[in-house]
Each structure stands twice: as structure tokens, then as C-alpha cells.
Amino acid sequence: MGDAGLQIGESFIGEGANAAHINTVLGHRDGPAGTAWASALASPSQGHVPFVAVLRPSLPVKPLTLFVTKAAPASDEHGLLIWGPAQAGVAAGVADALADGVITAEQADSHVVIAAVWVNPSADDADAVYEHNRTATRTALGNGVDRLPATEDVLAARDAPTNPFYTPTPRG
């Protein structure tokens, strides 16, 4: 299903503070994705410390996945949601993509994933954070493989953009 090119995906799952917004990059270790993966791991910044996503301690998911936070931990509780259920959800979502054939068995050892992950500082339900991040990661990887969204969908939505934080006043 996958190909050798750089695949970029996006997915937003859930509502409210426990929703997940994931951006993924899947590509060969020897290409730009591998370079970005290694550079990000070696270059943490204040509040943003990329780390390898694991299914359990000492069992990283394959392809090796770099978890990159979009928001610095705002509190101890927020940090626990990032390191705990969000990380577990991302790892499980990558494993789901591998099990479903979105990522091939060959790519499990030749490719890397970068997952940019948003966990709202107001999140308060660990199980919802886990489920939403798992589904969003699997969906983003599938969207990358399928080169979604379709260009026609982007053009159709251009005059009415909306997101959970903004809905424009209708023009007219």
C-alpha cells in the first residue's frame, strides 16, 4: 500500500479538551524523514523534548516513531497525559497502521515516523486522550499514504475554513 516517497498526513479526532490533533511524516530512514527524525531527537528545546514512542518500556513501536509535542507541558498533570496516554495512543496507532498494511512490513525496518502531537492543557480524561490519539495517528498515516485530502476538497472548502478554535463570519 505504501510507497517509497515522503508521506505527510493529518487527522483531528474527538471534541473538546480531550480531542487529538496529529500530523505525521513517514519516510525512509536514508531520506529527508530520517534526517529530520535524527535532527529533532538530537535538538530538544525548552518544553519540547522529542522522544521515541514505545508500546511498553524497551519496546519501541515500528517503524521507529518520534513523538514531538506541539505544546509544552503546562502542568504535571498535562505532562503525564502527554507521556502516558497520548504516547501510548500514538504507538498503538502506528502499530495499527502496520497491522492494517498501511505501513508495510518492509517499511517497519526501513522507514521512520515523526508524529507531531497536540494534547490540550485542559485535557482531563486519560482514556479519551489515548483512544483519540490512537485513532488520529492511524488515520493520519492512512491519509498520508492516500495523499489526502483530495485537491477538490481543499478547493471546495477554501471560502469556509473552520476549526475548533475559529469559525469565520459568513462573507457577504
Helix (H, G, I), strand (E, B) or coil at 153: helix
**Structural contact between residues 128 and 135, judged by C-beta atoms closer than 8 angstroms:** no
Write the CA distances from 111 to 23, 104, 142, integer angstroms: 16, 10, 15
CA distance 23 to 162: 18
Of 21, 78, 111, 132, catalytic: 21
* Sign of the C-alpha dihedral computed for residues 13, 164, 167 and 116 taken in this order: negative
- Distance, C-alpha 92 to centroid of its chain: 11
> Has 111 been annotated as catalytic?
no
Indicate whether 133 pLDDT > 70: yes
Query: 7-156 has which fold?
Result: Ribosomal Protein S5; domain 2 (3.30.230)
Per-residue pLDDT of 45-70, as tens digits, reads: 888 889 999 999 999 999 999 999 99
Which tens digits make up the pLDDT trace of 78-92? 999 999 999 999 999
